[in-house]
Chains A and B, each alone.
Chain A
Amino acid sequence: MTEKKRPLLDELKKGKWPSFVNEMEKSAAKKPVVNTLMDLVERSYEEKRVHWKHGGIVGVRGYGGGVIGRYCDLPEEYPDVAEFHTIRVNQPSGWFYTSDAIRTLCDVWEKHGSGLTNMHGATGDAILLGTTTDHLQDCFNDLSDNGFDLGGSGSNLRTPSACCGPARCEYACFDTLDLCHHLTNEYQDELHRPMWPYKFKIKISGCPNDCTSSIARADLSIIGTWRDNIQVNQEAVKEYVNNGFDVKEEVLAHCPCNCITFDEEKKELSIDDENCTRCMHCISAMPKALRVGKEKGATLLLGGKATIVQSAFLSWVIKPFIKLDKEDGYQELHDILERIWDWWDENAKVRERVGELIYRKGMGEFLKATGLEPVPQMVHHPRANPYFFWYPEDFAAEKEASEAGKEVAGSEVSE
């Protein structure tokens, strides 16, 4: 084996932050293919360009996704990495592992691949980086025999991901880990067999701090919230104050609703919960004194995505509050989700995310099709133009109401 010099990559072994080059060298000690990979990356560093091509269709039997085909554009010069495919493996909910589970993954990957991983990819899967076509099925067989399954790729559901939730967080408003596991198992077909216009991502955060960035990174963002009062422990408030914590500066000054008052004499906080928007700032600042409410659930938001094609969207509210109970198998959520998928699948163009479809077709049409009720919580403000649609059913309802001797528009005011 001839050791090539890699002066540019060597520069990235310097410095205090852990080096990815060191990780490649550790792998290369057992897997010569990683030496070739490093030679190729060194060349990219010299030429300031990538040397990978588009993926071809590769996979394992029974699945339409989970493997990303990756080919080098210089196969003659770098034959070891001519094929260097990626395998996406479902993470356990919340990315919790036992050391034995980690070792099992490592053993399978030592047998079938480069020994390089991403723990984890942006979607949430454990990423096994670099193997050849003839190893794919065997690798999957060994993963499956050891209790691991593949994630999604292409036009299908991606592995849902969740924050650590009730496992290690007092803010969790529902069981994020159970919901993530449940949805992943319930939608195996959608996850493994591309059948949709494009990808669909679900991310689950237990509170409005949104530690999975679901509002930016998921088509369906499930974010925990509550609809009653923040629980205040006045004794703990006093303790914070007595320890020199400046409640006015650290909490009141940052409250976006100005709905907290502080009695300096009694050293007590009071919260006007009706006017609180549950931003979490006060709770995060004083976790010993303040807790989320007791009537807990989630807000559903839809449409989040990165820039390509029609601009980035943050998910928007489609259901201000939903109970997420294990006991009924999350039935209400399933119903809503499946209505969304049906409408999107029927109406979207190729590679059109659900948020872009709603942008093209209009939120009104989306709400009608999915049976979701329009509520003011869905918008920052109502429209500022007079271009709204009327439908035959509006007139029918008007007629019916007038025949029943009732006024329609504005009648609520006088009643």
Chain B
Amino acid sequence: MTNPYYAQTDIGPPYFWDMLPQVIKDNYGKWLYHEKVKPGVLKHVGESGDELYTVRIGSPRLLSIETLRWFADIADKYCDGHLRFTSRHNVEFLLTDAGKVDALIEELEAAGWPVGGTGKSLKNLIHTQGWIHCHSAATDASGPVKAVMDDLFDYFKKDDLPAKLKISMACCLNMCGAVHCSDIAFVGVHRKIPRVDDNGVANGCEIPNVVASCPTGAIRPNPKAKSVTINEEKCMYCGNCYSVCPSLPIMDPENDGIAIFVGGKVSNSRSGPAFSKLAIPFIPNEPPRWDSLVAAIRNLVEIWVKDAKKGERYGEWIERIGWEKFFEKANLPFTDKHIDDFIFSVPTFRSTTQFKFTK
């Protein structure tokens, strides 16, 4: 490091108030209601009668500074220089002039930025880094996400689904995108145990930490080699040991792939928050367009669209019809992989004679 001076530390983030448009400062905490004008466009009305329009576009999350500068220019042109991002990688342009909304939409769409993702639509897909920037990825993230969003594009542009649809993806079981509570979640998975590089473990890893990192107690010290051994029968390929010790690589091009979980949600609306549950244990990695994954997700979306009642989120629909019916309708095999054998398994076993027969 050549710089002779060091900057001030601990200054904290920029003050949000300085980032807000005037109409928000004027109506802060005094919004009265909002309307969904059309897919991708919200209108908020304040107690003062002031109106704020929000135009939402989806982004691939990975953005170049060229694109960000273009967004800034658009914000100057239409929004007095104000914009915001959402927790699902959308960009929102904030306008006070209703007359500018259509021109803004036209300019965004012409440049390839889709307006949508509000109300009962497919939301932007949240995801992780994948092969672009992560060391533990079992699959790519941006590629499969792009392929899925291309295929489901129309659902982002419309808002006539039974309810909102949140799909998310994580490229390994660390689940950096917290995909465990989504309507549909797809997750990179491994299927073979880590390979032990005894030399590397001995020289680079703290053995007690490695042993403690294993949720099933599959890892034991191997004092002779100053390394560890892994019990193949106990390992369920979570990769947590690799996170604490790089000499236990688990990545495996032939056997890594993707699992799909369904029926989770986070909002408290109607039913409470819920985890996503396993629907499809494994789909192979198929770069560049992940055709099997795309087809599987389309099937999962379509059976819900066809069968759900108005207002039913994915998991609420399944709870109504029953999981056994879900597997039947989705035409998915139910296997030993679907029955939980981890630590909280017992409450998931059916302890009533109430169930539906399926074909």
Residues of A within 8 A of B (CB): 8-9, 11-12, 14-20, 22-24, 26-27, 29-30, 37, 41, 44-45, 47-55, 61-63, 70, 84, 86, 90-103, 105-106, 109-110, 115-120, 122, 124, 129-130, 134, 136-138, 140-145, 147-149, 159, 161, 163-164, 166-170, 172, 175, 177, 180-181, 184-185, 188-189, 192, 208-217, 223, 249-250, 254-256, 278-281, 284, 287-288, 306-312, 314, 349-351
Contacts and interface: CB of A to CB of B under 8 A. Distances in A.
Contact of A101 (B3, B19, B112): B19
A17 B178 contact: no
Given A149-B10, A169-B31, A216-B180, 12 more contacts: A20-B142, A20-B146, A51-B131, A102-B69, A110-B65, A117-B63, A117-B65, A129-B133, A166-B31, A254-B270, A308-B173, A308-B243
Interface residues of B, number: 122
B20 A310 contact: no
Interface stretch (B72-80, B218-226, B329-337): B72-80
B59 interface: yes
A172 B112 contact: no
A12 B294 CA distance: 14
A101 B58 contact: no
Contacts of A288: 32-33, 35
Classify the interface of chain B: helix, strand, loop or mixed: loop
A141 B5 contact: yes
B273 A216 contact: yes
B99 interface: no
A301 to B, nearest CB: 10
B281 interface: no
A41 B69 CA distance: 25
Contacts of B181: 213, 215-216, 312, 314
B64 interface: yes
Contacts, number: 373
Contacts of B94: 168
A288 B346 CA distance: 45
Nearest to B316: A254
A336 to B, nearest CB: 21
A69 to B, nearest CB: 10
8 pairs of A and B residues whose beta carbons are closest in the complex? A15-B150, A90-B13, A144-B7, A99-B72, A166-B29, A306-B175, A93-B16, A17-B149
A181 B287 contact: no
A181 B44 contact: no
A141 B65 contact: no
B342 interface: yes
A65 to B, nearest CB: 12
Contacts of B101: none
A5 B211 CA distance: 45
Given A167-B20, A216-B266, A280-B268, A97 B84 contact: yes
Contacts of A122: 126, 128, 176-178
Interface in B35-88: 35, 44, 52, 54, 58-69, 71-73, 75-76, 81-87
A208 B24 contact: no
B357 interface: no
A309 B239 CA distance: 10
Q: Of residues A18, A215, A255, A309, which shows the largest number of chain B Cβ atoms within 10 Å of its Cβ? A: A18
Given A12-B143, A117-B68, A185-B12, A209 B63 contact: no
A307 B87 contact: no
B266 A138 contact: no
Nearest to B16: A93
6 contacts: A37-B132, A164-B84, A169-B34, A306-B175, A306-B180, A308-B173
A48 to B, nearest CB: 4
A70 B62 CA distance: 17
Contacts of A143: 7
B308 interface: no
Interface string B168-201: 0010011111111100000000000000000000
